[in-house]
Amino acid sequence: MLVPPGDDAGVRLLDENRALVETVDVITPLVNDPFTFGKISAANSLSDIYAMGGRPFSALSIIGYPACDYPPELIREILSGVCYVLDQAGVPLIGGHCFDDGEIKTGLSVTGIVEKGHILRSDTPEEGDLLIITKPLGTGVLTTALKGERATEQDIKEAIDFMCMLNKEASEIAVKAGATACTDVTGFGLIGHLARMLSQKELDLILKKDKLPVFNGVIEFADRGLVPEGAYKNRQFFEELVQYKSPLNESFKLLLFDPQTSGGLLIAIKEGKLKSFEKSGIFYRVIGRFIKGTGRVQII
Ligand code: CO
Ligand code: CO
């Protein structure tokens, strides 16, 4: 094992120069359209390979569904969404497993390859590095609004498009730019995944709240109480790491802990290497800087 447990994916040396990167992730539906659900679940499962600086090589599908009352064409729709995104990633689906379950769920087990020198760990940012995020925040709140029928899929289309989007390009740029650390924002929310980045307790992150990208409508929905339970759990668990240096309203605080599905990458990078992102045309925001510290997130 080349990377301590708890990172985005397991990494095992394959030969002198290369390592295998392996991950598995399964989600329950967060949109009504089965094809779109398949796309999101594939992008979400592939993300941990990209978060390690790896290239996905092959995938196996995992589908649980209530066999008695779930029409087989819905499974085919989900799988065609999965394959659509796997095609974009250039990854073959080489097998999989279906099982009877009370609630529909789907995901992938993915195997990838990474050059030994390109492995992007989560917990290795360096003093002075900038922190980049590559997708806006708020998918937990928005999909909660969708489930509660306060929003339509059309209302949250931008977020759905981002959830279907691969972190492939962002990862490739990060590797080329010599990023010092990388992880993806998923179920533990922004602060939960920052906790992982800061877990060596030698740095603090200065996080600029005005620079955080947020999907349209998120704060308004959160103001109306459309916040997933996971956000409160994450907050309970991780809030002790946070120092609020300027006043933040309650909805914005909760957004910092909002669990994300198929979220963006968090990339620690030298200031001088930012040009690689500027030139690329992909979405990114510089949201903070690492300084000497003890593992805290200081929000200014
Ligand atoms: Co991850
Ligand atoms: Co993961």
3-state secondary structure the chain: CCCCCCCCCEEEECCCCEEEEEEEEEECCCCCCHHHHHHHHHHHHHHHHHHCCCEEEEEEEEEEECCCCCCHHHHHHHHHHHHHHHHHHCCCEEEEEEEECCCCEEEEEEEEEEEHHHCCCCCCCCCCCEEEECCCECHHHHHHHHHCCCCCCCCCHHHHHHHHCCCHHHHHHHHHCCCCEEEECCCCHHHHHHHHHCCCCCEEEEECHHHCCECCCHHHHHHCCCCCHHHHHHHHHHHHHEEECCCCCHHHHHHCCCCCCCCCEEEEECHHHCHHHHHHCCCCEEEEEEEECCCCEEEC
Residue 8 reports pLDDT greater than 70: yes
Q: How far is the CA of 262 from the centre of ligand 2 (A)?
A: 10
Cα distance between residue 30 and residue 143, in whole Å:
6
From the CA of 102, how far away is ligand 1's center (Å)?
Answer: 26
Query: What are the sequence ranges of the domains in the chain?
Result: 10-118, 130-299
- What is the structure's pLDDT at 69? 82
pLDDT reading at 104 higher than 80 = yes
What confidence score (pLDDT) does residue 1 get?
67
Q: pTM of the prediction?
A: 0.96
Cα 133 to ligand 1 centre (Å): 13
Residues lining ion ligand 2 (Cβ < 5 A) are: 8, 48
**pLDDT band at residue 20 using 50, 70 and 90 as cut-offs:** very high
- The alpha carbon of 266 and the centre of ligand 2 are apart by a number of angstroms equal to 13
Q: For residue 73, how far is its CA from the centre of ligand 1 (angstroms)?
A: 31
Mean pLDDT of the chain: 96
Q: What is the mean pLDDT of residues 193-221?
A: 97
CA 8 – ligand 2 centroid, Å: 4
Question: What per-residue confidence (pLDDT) applies to 44?
Answer: 98
Q: What is the CATH number of domain 10-118?
A: 3.30.1330.10
Write down the pLDDT at residue 70: 82
The percent of residues in the chain predicted with pLDDT above 90, rounded, is 96
How far does residue 12's CA lie from ligand 2's centre (Å)?
16
Q: What's residue 86's pLDDT? A: 98
pLDDT digits (tens, 9 = 90+) for 125-158: 999 999 999 999 999 999 999 999 999 999 999 9
The answer to whether 241 touches 297, Cβ cutoff 8 Å, is yes
Among 5-9, 17-21, 250-254, the minimum mean pLDDT is found in 5-9
CATH number belonging to domain 130-299: 3.90.650.10
pLDDT tens sequence across 48-91: 999 999 999 999 999 999 988 888 899 999 999 999 999 999 99
- Ligand 1 centroid–CA 135 distance in Å is 14
When pLDDT is cut at 50, 70 and 90, the band that residue 255 belongs to is very high
State the pLDDT at residue 163.
Answer: 98
